[in-house]
Amino acid sequence: MRPRLLAAGALIGLALSACGGGESGPASGDGGTGGSNDRLVVSSISDPKGLNPAFATATPTLELSALLFSYAVRYDDKARAVPDAVSEIPSIANGDVTDRGLTIKYKLRHGIKWHDGQGDLTCNDMKSTWKMMVNPKNIIDTTVGWNSIRDIDCRDPYVAVVHMKTVYAPFLQQLWGVNGNSPILPAHIIDKYNDANGSMNQAPFNSAPVGSGPYKFVSWQRGSRIRLEAFPQYFLGKPKIREIVYKIVPDGNTLTTQVQTHEVQIAWNLPAAQYGQLQKVSGVRTIAPVVYVFDHFDFNLTRPIFADVRVRRALTHAVDRRSLLEKVQHGLGELSPTFMDPTLYKDAYDPTVMQYPFDPLKAKALLDEAGWRTGADGVRAKNGQRFAFELSATVESNTAKAIQQQVISYWKAIGADVTVKNYPTTLYFDQTSKGTLAGGKFDVAIYAWSGAADIDQSAIYSAHFMPPQGQNYPRWRNARATAAMDDANATVDQARRIRDYKIVQQEFAKDDPSIILWFRRDVTSYPAALKGFTATPVITIPFWNPWAYHF
């Protein structure tokens, strides 16, 4: 997994996604405003910085990449890997993953055309993409996974034999995949710029890309819209909708209004408060499925006040998560006792972990047991130290502020003196020693992680990844859990990896370094008359199969 940060409730440039199942209410609007195969207007709240996903990894760029490019695989509405540029999924079972995962064979489809007419997509394109991703002169967001490749054998132009330096378990979603940011890019273009001078950083390709996906780039009116048109030579057949307009509407309420007036036909990341209203719009279906984003609190385990696990457990028991979800997110979320959601991670989720139901009496008893006694002012103290700490979030997030207000009342009820100390988003997520999270400048922090289909959580919970060099912000050190994560990353045996992550979940729940609040449900609207539409929970939002859309 390549984790992505966002402030709780903040609509920033991240891959929040939706899947076809798990609706939290009935779909709306079976009546119709109809639609046209001439044009489909979709909308995002932010303008992309660029259109090369390797260099601009915010949400809009990644969404558009699913329209413009081919990946090795895509992920469907059930988060299952399905072939895209490859003819079949590389696996141990079919013999395409061998040598314990150190050799991976990607068998490419024949006849995948580039939009500029310059030949077929081949192994050389995959190899050039890899070289671009690991060029130290390129300002790439992540090289994880890519830097585990030793070489690529392209003797057969339609078979890429990838030789790894080390086993990299999440290879499927990371290498030429949606979580590794780069799809397969055209060697005949990027080889001209991928040099020792970093020319690729400013290449014209980054704002006027040439891909091999179902739609080709036409124009970009910055801050307003991006136009794409169906590619007639697309290998699965010309898409049925002639043109897609990607419209930028930077305000969530304005976007809701444009869905209601049918100015925008597909929209996602819509405000939770608007869900009920959108369900009543004629001709529109609105769903709210579970997505790979979980809100949580991190305890800073370097703070002496949180060194005793009984204190952490008490604070967790004191939070009424179900009531909080209703008040803050209008019920649009799925409760989970672990960082694995029961809907999204059916096989890996462990329901037997230690759980912390809302129980203020249990919380008070744990604090009594830990030596924190209630004073005359209602605040507990121990050895002259008051039970006082700060609760932090981003200044910009109104949702986080609503969570803070409610949780402070929960914790006050068990004798805690909690104050709010919030920070600007840029400082909060600054991945240096100056940052709030990375620098450990917090007591308890609210934010969310956005994940992907693979179960790997080592980047955020392994003891190997302490900040600021890593993103284990609670500073959780558990030798058994770290060993299990190491083992999971050293094998492509999925059953073994799942066993490892059940150990991690058990240890995580026992140590309680974070309070997992809920996995989000994302509000997504689309025309009732649109056929073939399903959305994926894995990064590319509604666009995993846009060639199938039609009215």
pLDDT of 170-192, one tens digit each? Answer: 999 889 998 778 999 999 999 99
Instruction: Provide the pLDDT confidence category of residue 35 given band limits of 50, 70 and 90.
Output: confident
SS3 of residue 374 by DSSP: strand
Tell me if 152 sits within 8 A of 159, measured CB to CB. Answer: no
Tell me if 469 sits within 8 A of 439, measured CB to CB. Answer: no
Mean pLDDT across the stretch 252-279?
92
The pLDDT tens digits of the residues spanning 286-319 come to: 999 888 889 999 999 999 999 999 999 999 999 9
Query: Global pTM?
Result: 0.80
Which tokens hold the place of 291? 């997505």
Is the pLDDT at 346 greater than 80, yes or no? yes
Instruction: Provide the pLDDT confidence category of residue 33 given band limits of 50, 70 and 90.
Output: low
Dihedral angle sign, alpha carbons of residues 451, 452, 456, 458: negative
Is the pLDDT at 382 greater than 90, yes or no? yes
Instruction: Provide the pLDDT confidence category of residue 34 given band limits of 50, 70 and 90.
Output: low
pLDDT at 78: 87
Query: Where on the phi/psi map is residue 475: left (φ > 0), alpha (ψ -120 to 50), or beta?
Result: left
Q: Quick one: angle between helices 360-369 and 309-317, nearest 10?
A: 160
The four Cα atoms 92, 94, 99, 101 give a dihedral, to 10 degrees, of -40
Mean model confidence pLDDT for the chain: 90
Q: Which residues of 419-444 are buried (b: 16+ CB within 10 A; e: fewer)?
A: eebbbebeebbbeeeebbbbbbbbbb
Rounded Cα distance between 425 and 427, Å, is: 5
Tell me if 444 sits within 8 A of 8, measured CB to CB. Answer: no
Tell me if 302 sits within 8 A of 475, measured CB to CB. Answer: yes
Tell me if 43 sits within 8 A of 260, measured CB to CB. Answer: no
